[in-house]
Chains A and B, each alone.
Chain A
Amino acid sequence: DIQLTQSPSFLSASVGDRVTITCRASQVVTSYLAWYQQKPGKAPNLLIYGASTLQTGVPSRFSGSRSGTEFTLTISSLQPEDFATYYCQQLNSYLIAFGQGTRLEIK
């Protein structure tokens, strides 16, 4: 089974900051990785799929990339509505795994 490890687990930042969240896979994988944003009491919202493709309607300040087994979600300039929890998700051999989440809070 693939294990996904996100870092950091908790991140404190200010409006306007550039932030990066990393998701590391336990084994060599393809680019079948997605990123989600979840706000308290709400269902997750798909931000990025295929490691780097922005879902329709998602602001362009969000971006995703991959280097080997490391995937990155970047928010170029934090907005107040971006403070939430972010999850990565991987598909491998029809099995799906989620990272443990990164909570992004206002400094």
Chain B
Amino acid sequence: QLQLQESGPGLVRSSETLSLTCTVSGGSINSDTYYWGWIRQSPGKGLEWIGSIYYTGDTYYNPSFKSRITMSIDTSKNRFSLRLSSVTAADTAVYYCARRRIELWAGFDPWGQGSLVTVSS
């Protein structure tokens, strides 16, 4: 059974860079069948797609983040990562990683349990 686990600092200073890693177990990230994505949820708010990455390293970013975001993938370690620069309090959120099939009709499944990142001033 595929599992995803987010990891990274729970506290990031304002103006610095948020870095998270999603480690995949129970299956290979080196697959042409799936995209790997990041989604966040601010406290008490809805879901916001951040971006997705393919095993080749091709990336698709939410335009709202495009100038601040970098996603990467390490197939040798079966994990992918998110870096979000110049963070502010508005970036405080639970960050989820998730898998999505490449077919256009697919949804995200499964999801990691989420990682709370708080941006402090």
Residues in chain A within 8 A of chain B (CB atoms): 1, 30-32, 34-36, 38, 42-46, 48-51, 53, 55, 87, 89, 91, 94-101
Q: Is the CB of A1 within 8 A of B107?
A: no
Query: DSSP majority for the B interface?
Result: strand
Determine the interface band of chain B, counting residues with CB < 8 A from chain A.
Answer: 20 to 34
Q: Which residues of B contact A44 (CB under 8 A)?
A: 47, 96, 108, 111
Residues in chain B within 8 A of chain A (CB atoms): 37, 39, 46-49, 52, 60, 62-63, 96, 98, 104-109, 111-114
Q: Is the CB of A53 within 8 A of B105?
A: yes
Complex Cα distance, B40 from A98, in Å, reads 11
Q: Which residues of A contact B63 (CB under 8 A)?
A: 1, 95
- B51 nearest CB across to chain A (Å): 9
Q: Is the CB of A95 within 8 A of B62?
A: yes
Q: Is the CB of B112 within 8 A of A43?
A: yes
Closest to A9 in B: B46
Complex Cα distance, B94 from A43, in Å, reads 10
Q: Is the CB of A49 within 8 A of B106?
A: yes
Q: List 15 A-B contacts (CB under 8 A).
A: A31-B105, A36-B108, A45-B111, A46-B107, A49-B107, A51-B105, A53-B105, A55-B107, A55-B109, A87-B46, A89-B107, A95-B63, A96-B49, A99-B46, A100-B46
Q: A1-B63, A43-B96 are in contact. Are A98 and B48 (CB under 8 A)?
A: yes
- A21 nearest CB across to chain B (Å): 14
- A36 nearest CB across to chain B (Å): 7
